[in-house]
Amino acid sequence: MIISFEGIDGCGKSTQIALLTDELKRHNKKAVVLREPGGNNISEKIRELLLDNKNSSMRSETELLLYIASRTQLVRDEIRKMLEDNFIVILDRFADSTTAYQGYGRGLDLEIIGQLNHFATDMGKYMPDITFFLDIPVETAFSRMMSRGEEINRMESSDKDFFERVRNGFIIISENEPERVFRMDAIQSKEKVFEQLKKILKSRNII
């Protein structure tokens, strides 16, 4: 079972992932959390390249291929092994982020991105079973990011128009795949969001 969390930066993915991990443990489920880009040694090095503000001249095509490289490594070295060991794999971002950020956000060819995602996920064998899209307005996301008091990375430093396109991309993905992608109003309290999340998991007999 693969469960992914998606949304623009500041949507509350980390909070919901922590709540879900604790809930799964209470139900005696084995779970592991992996982040993208990252998740193992090679993919973490790729993450450093992607998020480093010094790499502001990185081309969109290079960015896309680095995300795909990171995902390819993660799937084959970590996700496949964890699933074989009967873990529930929880992903902080995955293929949908590439479609939303590099496709809708950067304007790269969606068909090519689809093909690359298919390859990176071992010909589609390791796509999420359930995806939670935590949706918030861009203004709210920017406010949350600023309130954290942390340094803004290269991806987070993109302008609001970019994030509007990304958010719209996630909305389109959720509309195209309603059986897999659940759009959730993340402007609500974390407790309300998690209650809705649990209802979906219960309906699928996961908890």
Domain range list for the chain: 2-203
Percentage of the chain lying above the pLDDT 90 cut: 96
What mean pLDDT value characterizes the chain? Answer: 97
21-30, 51-60, 88-97, 146-155, range with the lowest pLDDT: 146-155
In the structure encoding, which two tokens stand for residue 111, read together? Answer: 């068909």
pLDDT range class, residue 147, cuts 50, 70, 90: confident
Four-point Cα dihedral 106, 148, 144, 197, nearest 10: 90
Q: What is the pLDDT of residue 150?
A: 79
Contacts of 81 (CB under 8 A, 6+ apart): none
Average pLDDT, integer, range 180-187:
98
Q: Is the pLDDT confidence value at 179 over 90?
A: yes
Task: Determine whether 144 is exposed, middle or buried from the number of CB atoms within 10 Å of its CB (0-12, 13-18, 19+).
Answer: middle
pLDDT range class, residue 146, cuts 50, 70, 90: confident
Give the whole-angstrom CA distance, residue 96 versus residue 103: 10
As a whole number of Å, the end-to-end CA separation of the chain is 12
Q: Are 177 and 130 in contact (CB under 8 A)?
A: no
Label the pairing between strands 31-35 and 181-185: unpaired
Q: Is the pLDDT confidence value at 124 over 90?
A: yes
Count CB neighbours of 203 within 10 A: 8
Percentage of the chain lying above the pLDDT 70 cut: 100
The amino acid occupying position 198 is: K
CA 103 to chain centre: 14
- What pTM, to 2 d.p., does this model score? 0.97
SS3 content of the chain, % helix, strand, coil (to 5): 55, 15, 30
Q: What is the pLDDT of residue 148?
A: 81
In the structure encoding, which two tokens stand for residue 90, read together? Answer: 């929880």
Give the whole-angstrom CA distance, residue 198 versus residue 207: 8
Contacts of 149 (CB under 8 A, 6+ apart): none
pLDDT range class, residue 86, cuts 50, 70, 90: very high
Q: Is the pLDDT confidence value at 151 over 90?
A: no
In the structure encoding, which two tokens stand for residue 189, read together? Answer: 């309290």
Q: What is the pLDDT of residue 193?
A: 98
Give the whole-angstrom CA distance, residue 190 versus residue 12: 8
Q: 128: closest CA among 85, 164, 173?
A: 173
Structural fold of domain 2-203: Rossmann fold (3.40.50)
Average pLDDT, integer, range 67-94:
98
